[in-house]
Amino acid sequence: MPQTITKGYKALLAEAEAKVKTLSVEEAQALSGRDDTVFVDLRDPREREREGKMPGAFHCPRGMLEFWIDPESPYAKPVFQEDKQFVFFCAGGWRSALAAQVAQEMGLKPVSHIAGGFGAWKKAGAPFEEPEPRKG
């Protein structure tokens, strides 16, 4: 007998969107390059190689987020202990909504995420670093 999912991803995303501030690309661009703001790229390394990167963003693969935020974790990253605002993004805005909600629940603040993710960022003509050509 197949599993019965009681709460699907759409419900989870709706909950996250209701609890976390969502920034338009324009709002996010206004924060880009500021000393008090950290952009957190949740995409996996293959996505970054394929699509390019946001200049200055801190790369935190989604699977490591909770472990890198918690100062009690052996994997804690100092960047998450800084008194800054954190802007999360992924490829399309789904993982970042869920990740920002988790980060907020863990006590990180202020947090937000970019509507449409890196895809919307690039489409809007915001600055990004082209993928490096593959060797070999």
- Whether this prediction's pTM lies above 0.85 is answered by yes
Distance between CA 71 and CA 88 in Å, rounded? 19
Structure tokens at 121: 């960022």
Compute CA distances 54 → 62, 64, 115, whole Å: 16, 19, 15
pLDDT at 136: 61
13-29 burial, b for 16+ CB within 10 Å, e for fewer?
Answer: beebbeebebbebeebb
Tens-digit pLDDT profile for residues 20-39: 999 999 999 999 999 999 99
The residue extents of the domains of the chain are 16-123
Answer yes or no: is pLDDT of 14 > 70. yes
- When pLDDT is averaged across residues 96-120 and rounded to a whole number, the result is 98
What's the CATH code, domain 16-123? 3.40.250.10
pLDDT at 20: 97
